[in-house]
Amino acid sequence: MFNSCASESNMQSIDDRLNSLLSKMTLEEKIGQMNQYSSFWDVTGPAPKEGSAAVQFEQLKNGLVGSMLNVHGVENVRKLQQIAVEETRLGIPLIFGFDVIHGFKTISPIPLAEAASWDLEAIELSAKNAALEASAAGINWTFAPMVDISRDARWGRVMEGAGEDPYLGSKIAFARVKGFQGDDLSAPTTIAACAKHFAGYGFPEAGKEYNSVDIGTQTLHNMVMPPFKATIEAGVRTFMNSFSQLNGVPATGSQYLQRTLLKDQWNFDGFVVSDWGSIEEMVEHGYAKDAKQAAQIAVEAGSDMDMQSLAYVDHLTDLVKSGVVQEALIDDAVRRILRVKFELGLFDDPYKYCNIEREKATIGHEKFQEATLEMAKKSIVLLKNKNQLLPLKKKGLNIALIGDLADDKTSPLGNWILAAEKNSAVSVLEGMKTYEGNNLEFSVGVKLNTGALEFAKELNINTTDKSDFPAAIKLAKKSDVVVMVLGEHGFHSGEGRSRTQLGLPGLQQELLEQVFKVNQNIILVLNNGRPLVLDWADQYIPAIVEAWQLGSQSGNAIAQVLYGDYNPSGKLPMSFPKSLGQVPIYYNYKSTGRPTLPSTDEVFWSHYQDEQNAPLYTFGYGLSYTTFAYSNLKINSQTDTTIDVSVEVTNTGNVQGKEVVQLYIKDHFARPTQPIKSLKGFELIDLNPNQTKTVHFTLTETQLGFYDNDGNFTVQPGDFSIYVGGDSTTKLNTKFKL
């Protein structure tokens, strides 16, 4: 049985219980709550006897650890919780964190792919299912959602976010937090969410992982912050700071971010966890002279829990006892951490996530597979479909399926697959085989990687071995249609996976061009975790399907789209550059003083000599097997605070289809200046052939205002345009004055 404080009545208010507990804690025990370790030994094996694991084990037994990460499975979690609850003086339960980023055991599409669905209900459900599955395995806290806006496809972590736009990003951030946390955090099926990485991590210079971030106040307040704020509105209980420095201050040591903005202005009463080792990394940043000073800076800045750098457990006691750090700061941090533990109900039942029967009945349940299949289909974006090569006929075709990724059952799972089984995704080959009316033959074409593929290790991309080319070319030659599955392995994107080239990695481009020489009827199915440069493919390949990394049901989802059993409706959440040199490229840029081609042939306007300004595929872009027409955009009514806009959308094709109707505004004159267009509303509608729907949007002041350079929200009167359409280049517009 668990001891006294864990069994205290839950009838008392959390505050009373918190205060009473805090008053019993020694300084060391308080600091222990601020200490988080990654799983440091095989819990089901013998207790560690030597080295750092033995030290950490002793600390755990002495109540000097508040949280663990990377431990999962009821048996493991229960064993550790038992030590915390039954062997430590006060019996304070641990909180167990895990990167439940896109699913747990059942894997959903990577977050960037889910964002392409623009389907908030589906995204919320995906997070809810992930919480259901993870909580059955002992987890009660996820390090998600990552809500970092990014415009730079070189940065590998764009796969984990919702793309480049703060409005879409905010809606998705809200939905994900709701999905994870539900309406009742104390239910055994919901888990605490964590908004990360606070803040600016998505803007590393040159797209290089962990690089410095140097952005102005406009970008900070209007691009980076909105999704974080949305998570606060959704009631997120934790934040994670970031590895990077923002304008010269490591985020982990930033009082402005963590205290002024987050805790004071936004009234956040949950806790902030550091990123892995980021407290001590302030020494490498050149911001703290040693780990001890780093601990001081971090705690003063408002980093409440130290993930894995040991700086708090090693130095905070000294810092407080010598009067350098105020104990009140420790109390504040501990109060926040304990509050979340109380809210999760861990003090009432520390083993509430440790039900072995529930674990058995839940993990990998069929209903998660069904839901992830739906999510995967919704995430697919049709980029090109010349001469309606797609959908494929179901009978009588000889189809060549080419590409290493086509029969890969691990890569489609994507990057964050810590609890998933390797080789567990449905491959494209398997998915296509379920359609038996055609003659399908597979040829690998070219091996994508050589050597082992691991989450934490550098990949070796095959750049020399073309021995599989001839067989694939021969197969393509005799086939009616070629489906080529090319792109990035799941481990090509993610943390530590920045790239300077954004084409198809390795020898895949060469293979594509060789196959094209013998058969031009190619459907290119892309697997990737970031926008790629696809200029050649766009010029020559008739059909291109963006299929990201779609998770456990990937191959089934792709096959259903290729055969037209599902009509794709995804829209890009990030612009796809035409050339690498355009990066960072995004639709909501600001006008220059010389935005347009002058009438003469002079060079003095904002452009490139060797490339157009526009991306290859813009934000919000995506095709369908049907077509949509927009008409009758009008402002129906305007009050001081709201504007009601409507537009008619008609399905002008032959099949039923879904369309993401997007509304953008342009604020013609503002100080500071505003982007040339900003997304301010969208709606996903379903239309039968020839059906028309009137879609209404209500714009409020919040949507028309912005943050000035002092971080104050302002709404400025003046001339606005409203644009409505199926992507961010839409021309259909109307005007109003505010």
Minimum distance, C-beta of residue 107 to ligand BGC, in the bound complex (Å): 16
Minimum distance, C-beta of residue 662 to ligand BGC, in the bound complex (Å): 30
Nearer to ligand BGC, 252 or 728 (CB): 252
Q: For 587-622, b where at least 16 C-beta lie within 10 A, e where not — what string?
A: bbeeeeeeeeeeeeeeeeeeeeeeeeeebbbbbbbb
**Residue among 165, 111, 82 nearest 682 (CA):** 165
Minimum distance, C-beta of residue 94 to ligand BGC, in the bound complex (Å): 16
Nearer to ligand BGC, 99 or 659 (CB): 99
Nearer to ligand BGC, 276 or 736 (CB): 276
What character string, x for contact with ligand BGC (CB under 6 A) and - otherwise, covers 224-263?
----------------------------------------
Backbone dihedral angles phi then psi of residue 461, each to the nearest 5 degrees: -90, 135
Q: Considering the rule CB under 6 A, would residue 416 count as an interface residue with ligand BGC?
A: no
Q: What is the dihedral of CA 230, 163, 149, 68, to 10 degrees?
A: 70
Tell which positions 84-143 bind ligand BGC, by CB under 6 A. Answer: 99, 143
Quick one: residue 107, left, alpha or beta (phi over 0 = left, psi -120 to 50 = alpha)? beta
Minimum distance, C-beta of residue 364 to ligand BGC, in the bound complex (Å): 22
Nearer to ligand BGC, 306 or 727 (CB): 306
The kind and range of the H/E element at 316 are helix 311-321
Backbone dihedral angles phi then psi of residue 697, each to the nearest 5 degrees: -125, 140
Tell which positions 69-88 bind ligand BGC, by CB under 6 A. Answer: 69
Q: Considering the rule CB under 6 A, would residue 404 count as an interface residue with ligand BGC?
A: no
Nearer to ligand BGC, 156 or 431 (CB): 156
Q: Considering the rule CB under 6 A, would residue 281 count as an interface residue with ligand BGC?
A: no
Q: Which of 171, 178, 196, 492 binds ligand BGC (CB under 6 A)?
A: 196
Which position's Cβ is nearest ligand BGC? Answer: 143
Let me know: does 354 contact 78? Beta carbons within 8 Å: yes
DSSP one-letter string for 81-109: HHIIIIISSS-PPPEEEE--SSBSSSBPP
Q: Considering the rule CB under 6 A, would residue 275 count as an interface residue with ligand BGC?
A: yes
Minimum distance, C-beta of residue 496 to ligand BGC, in the bound complex (Å): 8
Nearer to ligand BGC, 1 or 456 (CB): 456
Q: Which of 41, 256, 266, 276 binds ligand BGC (CB under 6 A)?
A: 276
Nearer to ligand BGC, 36 or 190 (CB): 36
Nearer to ligand BGC, 196 or 489 (CB): 196
What character string, x for contact with ligand BGC (CB under 6 A) and - otherwise, covers 487-526?
--------x-------------------------------
Number of residues that bind ligand BGC (CB under 6 A): 7
Q: In whole angstroms, give the CA distance from residue 279 to residue 159.
A: 25
What character string, x for contact with ligand BGC (CB under 6 A) and - otherwise, covers 342-381?
----------------------------------------
Q: Which two tokens stand for residue 643?
A: 């504007």
What character string, x for contact with ligand BGC (CB under 6 A) and - otherwise, covers 149-188?
----------------------------------------
Q: Which residues are catalytic?
A: 275
Minimum distance, C-beta of residue 99 to ligand BGC, in the bound complex (Å): 5
Q: In whole angstroms, give the CA distance from residue 573 to residue 681.
A: 14
Give the ranges where 534-578 is alpha helix by DSSP (H): 535-540, 554-562
Q: Is 604 helix (H, G, I), strand (E, B) or coil?
A: coil
Minimum distance, C-beta of residue 200 to ligand BGC, in the bound complex (Å): 14
Q: Distance of alpha carbon 537 from its chain centroid, rounded?
A: 27
Minimum distance, C-beta of residue 98 to ligand BGC, in the bound complex (Å): 8
Let me know: does 682 contact 168? Beta carbons within 8 Å: yes
Q: Which residue has the tokens 């004159």?
A: 669
**Residue among 694, 711, 719 nearest 257 (CA):** 711
CA atoms within a 13 Å half-sphere pointing along the CA-CB vector of 179:
27
DSSP one-letter string for 421-435: PTT-SPPHHHHHHT-
For binding to ligand BGC (CB under 6 A), which residues are involved? 69, 99, 143, 196, 275-276, 495
